[in-house]
């Protein structure tokens, strides 16, 4: 059998057109491989892409196998969101590549601090140089039950 196609990362521009055309694939990736981002509607995903300052996706051929995004003010603070690797591709370094690509995006690279929230994967982010912050509290205003 031939080797599987290599996985390519795409750093999207402001319009994230390739993903905007494939919102169903993004929806399926989040539905099947995350718990906090299940049930998001395509119009919400389009708004999410428009509102993100950095968007990275991973493709094996035509198949979307990974995703991550970040918001940033371009100077002081950036936050990583929705880093997801499809189950069958986990544990092979793709999550590390996605986060490295997000950190290298100009809007994120200029920020003096990069934050993220994680429920199950602090060990993964520790391997990538992040540290837990015990000095700060995570505060949340819940507006919709469906939001993660
Ligand atoms: C968490 C996730 C993004 C990691 O991606 P991945 O491709 O499996 O991770 P990688 O193979 O790039 O792992 C990089 C390093 O982190 C380690 N690692 C990965 N997941 C880990 C975990 N849950 N706990 C501790 N270490 C972990 C790997 O062993 C590897 O270590 P190494 O540098 O010693 O080799 C992926 O498992 C995933 O999408 N999970 C479901 C969604 C999720 O929970 N996302 C996080 C949202 S905050």
User: Would you give per-residue pLDDT tens digits along the chain (148 residues)?
Assistant: 678 899 999 999 988 999 999 999 999 999 999 999 999 999 999 999 999 999 999 999 999 999 999 999 999 999 999 999 999 999 999 999 999 999 999 999 999 999 999 999 999 999 999 999 999 999 999 997 654 4
Which residue's CA is the nearest one to ligand 1's atom 24?
Answer: 123
Give the CATH number, domain containing residue 61.
3.40.630.30
Are 82 and 94 in contact by the 8 Å Cβ rule? The answer is no
115, part of any domain: yes
**Which CB contacts under 8 angstroms, 24+ apart, belong to 118-125?**
119/35, 119/36, 124/95, 125/99
45, part of any domain: yes
Residues with CB under 6 A from ligand 1: 33-34, 83-85, 90-96, 118, 120-121, 123-124, 127
Sign of CA dihedral 39, 41, 44, 46: positive
Degrees, nearest 5: CA angle 53-57-60: 170
pTM above 0.85, yes or no: yes
Q: How many domains does the chain have?
A: 1
137, part of any domain: no
52, part of any domain: yes
Domain interval for residue 74: 7-127
CA 30 to chain centre: 10
């Amino acid at each position: 059998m031939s080797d599987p196609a290599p996985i390519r990362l795409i750093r999207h521009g402001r319009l994230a057109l390739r993903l905007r055309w494939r919102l169903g694939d993004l929806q399926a990736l989040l539905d099947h491989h995350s718990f906090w981002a299940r049930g998001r509607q395509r119009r919400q995903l389009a708004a999410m892409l428009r509102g993100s300052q950095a968007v990275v996706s991973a493709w094996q051929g035509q198949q979307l196998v990974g995703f991550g995004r970040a918001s940033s003010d371009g100077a002081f603070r950036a936050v990583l969101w929705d880093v997801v690797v499809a189950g069958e591709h986990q544990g092979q370094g793709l999550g590390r590549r996605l986060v490295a690509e997000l950190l290298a995006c100009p809007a994120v690279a200029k920020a003096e601090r990069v934050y993220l929230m994680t429920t199950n994967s602090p060990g993964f982010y520790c391997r990538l140089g992040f540290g837990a912050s015990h000095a700060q509290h995570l505060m949340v205003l819940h507006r919709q039950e469906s939001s993660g």
